[in-house]
């Protein structure tokens, strides 16, 4: 039985004061939620205050990115050790915005996953096709390549990963994949994970859906067999919306 995970990716939003106000509200609204794991990924600048604010609550902390080295002359980068030091349990890796704007390749994603796992972090590995790739009927091919190259050489002994299927055309566009479309890709990802690792291991890995998840569509998405939670962008910036999405996962 996979426990659902609802993760809020705040992206490059919220000052320290705004982060604090949002997390204080979330703590109140979410305090009775059980049966679901709740995670927020604020910007680096707010991690320390948010960590202090969520102490003792049912909300976990994640970072949105890391570099693949533990330390050294890499101006402007943040290492896995640093975000662990800040109390992060999770890190998002390979988000499509990083792939697109910062040219992160599958090889870079692979290095980041490796270093995250070596440093005892849990990696949320994002994959997803563009609209053009979907229209060209290449969705499964793209997903297969991202999963296989991203997870190359990752050993089962340190496999603390969650996969997030996020079709690029659905991110921030208000246009979500239908539950059936998402479930189809999730089932395919699970088959790939079975081939790479084993059926047993694959059945324990959570696969989240991301891309315009909101209160009005989350219950339907969460009711799909292969959808084990959500990676939420825009709607995670509003405490009431994020809470409703968490609740929809509790009810499944
Ligand atoms: P969105 O973003 O919910 O705003 O579409 C999802 C994501 O990028 O993780």
Q: What does the pLDDT look like over 108-134, one tens digit per residue?
A: 999 999 999 999 999 999 999 999 999
Mean per-residue pLDDT, 54-71: 97
Task: Pick the residue whose CA is nearest to atom 2 on ligand 1.
Answer: 233
Cβ burial 99-127 (10 Å sphere, 16+ → b, else e): beeeebebebbbbbbbbbbebebbbbbbb
Q: Compute the distance between CA of residue 98 and CA of residue 246 in angstroms, rounded to an integer.
A: 26
**pLDDT of 252 above 70:** no
Q: Which residue has the higher pLDDT, 155 or 48?
A: 48
Task: Give the distance (Å) from ligand 1 centre to CA of residue 212.
Answer: 6
pLDDT digits (tens, 9 = 90+) for 76-113: 999 999 999 999 999 999 999 999 999 999 999 999 99
Mean per-residue pLDDT, 218-232: 96
**pLDDT of 250 above 90:** no
CA 141 distance to own-chain centroid? 21
pLDDT digits (tens, 9 = 90+) for 187-203: 999 999 999 999 999 99
Mean per-residue pLDDT, 162-169: 97
Q: Compute the distance between CA of residue 16 and CA of residue 12 in angstroms, rounded to an integer.
A: 12
Any ligand 1 atom below 6 A from CB of 166: yes
Task: Pick the residue whose CA is nearest to atom 6 on ligand 1.
Answer: 233
Mutate to test the pocket of ligand 1, among 6, 170, 208, 231 (most ligand atoms within 8 A of CB): 231
Amino acid 242: pLDDT? 98
Mean per-residue pLDDT, 62-76: 97
Q: Which residue has the tokens 């991203």?
A: 150
Q: Which of 37, 129, 133, 166 is catalytic?
A: 166
Mean pLDDT of the chain: 96
For the CA of 235, the nearest atom of ligand 1: 3
**Cα Rg for the chain, rounded, in angstroms?**
17
Backbone angles phi, psi at 68, to 5 degrees: -95, 5
Any ligand 1 atom below 6 A from CB of 168: no
**pLDDT of 176 above 90:** no
Q: Compute the distance between CA of residue 238 and CA of residue 21 in angstroms, rounded to an integer.
A: 11
DSSP state of 217: H
**pLDDT of 53 above 80:** yes
DSSP state of 163: E
- CATH number for the region 5-250 comes to 3.20.20.70
Amino acid 101: pLDDT? 97
CA 55 distance to own-chain centroid? 21
> Where residue 47 falls among pLDDT bands split at 50, 70, 90?
very high
Question: What are 124's two structure tokens?
Answer: 């949320």
Query: Residue 50 in contact with residue 61, Cβ under 8 Å?
Result: yes
* C-alpha closest to that of 185 among 221, 132, 160: 221
Any ligand 1 atom below 6 A from CB of 231: yes
Mean per-residue pLDDT, 137-152: 98
Any ligand 1 atom below 6 A from CB of 230: no
Amino acid 213: pLDDT? 97
Q: Which of 37, 95, 104, 186 is catalytic?
A: 95
> Where residue 158 falls among pLDDT bands split at 50, 70, 90?
confident
Amino acid 13: pLDDT? 98
Which is it for strands 5-9 and 37-41: parallel, antiparallel or unpaired? parallel
Residue count (the chain): 252
Instruction: Mark whether 166 is an active-site residue.
Output: yes
> What percent of the chain clears pLDDT 90, i.e. is strictly above it?
94
**pLDDT of 251 above 70:** no
The pTM (predicted TM-score) of the whole model is 0.97
For the CA of 11, the nearest atom of ligand 1: 8
């Amino acid at each position: 039985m996979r426990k659902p995970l609802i993760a809020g990716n705040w992206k490059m939003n919220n000052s320290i004061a705004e982060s604090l106000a949002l997390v204080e509200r979330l703590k109140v609204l979410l305090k009775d939620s059980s049966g679901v794991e709740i995670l927020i990924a604020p910007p680096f600048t707010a991690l320390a205050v948010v960590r202090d604010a969520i102490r003792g609550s049912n909300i976990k902390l994640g970072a949105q990115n890391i570099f693949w080295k533990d330390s050294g002359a890499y101006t402007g980068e943040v290492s896995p050790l640093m975000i662990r030091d800040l109390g992060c349990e999770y890190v998002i890796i390979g988000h499509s915005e990083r792939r697109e704007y910062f040219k992160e390749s599958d090889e870079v994603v692979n290095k980041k996953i490796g270093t995250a796992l070596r440093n005892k972090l849990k990696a949320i590995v994002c994959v997803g096709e563009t609209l053009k790739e979907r229209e060209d009927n290449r969705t499964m091919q793209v997903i297969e390549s991202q999963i296989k190259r991203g997870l190359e050489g990752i050993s089962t002994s340190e496999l603390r990963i969650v996969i997030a299927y996020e079709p690029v055309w659905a991110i921030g566009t208000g246009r979500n994949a239908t539950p059936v479309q998402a479930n189809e890709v999730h089932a395919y990802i699970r088959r790939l994970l079975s081939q790479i690792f084993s059926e047993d291991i694959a059945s324990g890995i959570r696969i989240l859906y991301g891309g315009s998840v909101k209160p009005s569509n989350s219950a339907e998405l969460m009711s799909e067999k292969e959808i084990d939670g959500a990676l939420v962008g825009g709607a995670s910036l509003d405490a009431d919306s994020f809470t409703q999405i968490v609740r929809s996962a509790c009810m499944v």
